[in-house]
């Protein structure tokens, strides 16, 4: 007997890859817990995305003097020298300018704060999980500081 013919019962879904890269998962355990053994022991879930390549090699990010990254820069500048001329409150507002980053030459890190303490089960249909991008930076130290609690994350 010969090979059977393949019959497609569904059309192929149209897939478009926006970015390729690494995904890191972090959590903060609840107070008085050193580590989490389940979702009930987790206070907050974080995801860090680090794109390595994508549809476009150059991505826009918030200006380094704006938003959470700006408040970190302002704090470090104020500790190095007296008075930088830019207040932390203005820097923490965000949305003041942008910077282009070549993600193939320089790391771009997106810190995402998740609204739930676990990820959805892909086998089950459920309501969408939400999260928000807390910070976009090219400096890994800014992400480390934020995850250690050195920066107030909402």
pLDDT in tens, the chain (154 residues): 567 777 778 788 888 887 889 999 998 888 888 888 888 888 899 999 998 876 777 777 777 776 666 565 555 555 444 444 444 444 455 566 788 888 888 888 999 999 888 888 878 887 888 899 998 888 999 999 999 886 555 4
Instruction: Name the nearest CA neighbour of 131 among 149, 111, 151, 107.
Output: 111
In a domain, 98, yes or no: yes
In a domain, 93, yes or no: yes
Helix (H) or strand (E) holding 137: strand 131-137
Beta bridge partners of 26: 46
| Cβ atoms of residues 139 and 69 within 8 Å | yes
**Number of domains the chain is built from:** 1
Q: What is the pTM of this model?
A: 0.66
Alpha-carbon gap, residue 93 to 83, rounded angstroms = 19
In a domain, 38, yes or no: yes
Domain span including residue 55:
20-81+88-121+128-148
Backbone angles phi, psi at 78, to 5 degrees: -65, -30
In a domain, 5, yes or no: no
Catalogue the E-assigned strands of 9-127.
19-29, 42-54, 58-62, 98-102, 109-114
pLDDT, residue 88, reads: 45
In a domain, 15, yes or no: no
pLDDT, residue 17, reads: 80
In a domain, 3, yes or no: no
In a domain, 111, yes or no: yes
In a domain, 94, yes or no: yes
């Amino acid at each position: 007997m010969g090979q059977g013919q393949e019959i497609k019962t569904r059309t192929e879904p149209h897939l478009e890859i926006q970015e390729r890269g690494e995904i890191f998962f972090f959590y903060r355990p609840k107070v008085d817990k050193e580590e989490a053994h389940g979702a009930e022991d987790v206070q907050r879930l974080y995801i860090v995305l680090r794109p390595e390549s994508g549809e476009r090699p150059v991505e826009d990010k918030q200006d380094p003097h704006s938003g959470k990254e700006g408040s970190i820069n302002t704090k470090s500048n104020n500790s190095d020298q007296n008075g930088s001329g830019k207040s932390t409150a203005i820097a923490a507002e965000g949305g003041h300018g942008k910077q282009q980053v070549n993600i193939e030459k320089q790391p771009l890190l997106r810190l995402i704060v998740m609204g739930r303490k676990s990820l959805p089960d892909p086998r089950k249909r459920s309501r969408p999980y939400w999260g928000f991008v807390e910070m976009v930076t090219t400096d890994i130290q800014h992400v480390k500081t934020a995850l250690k609690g050195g920066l107030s994350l909402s």
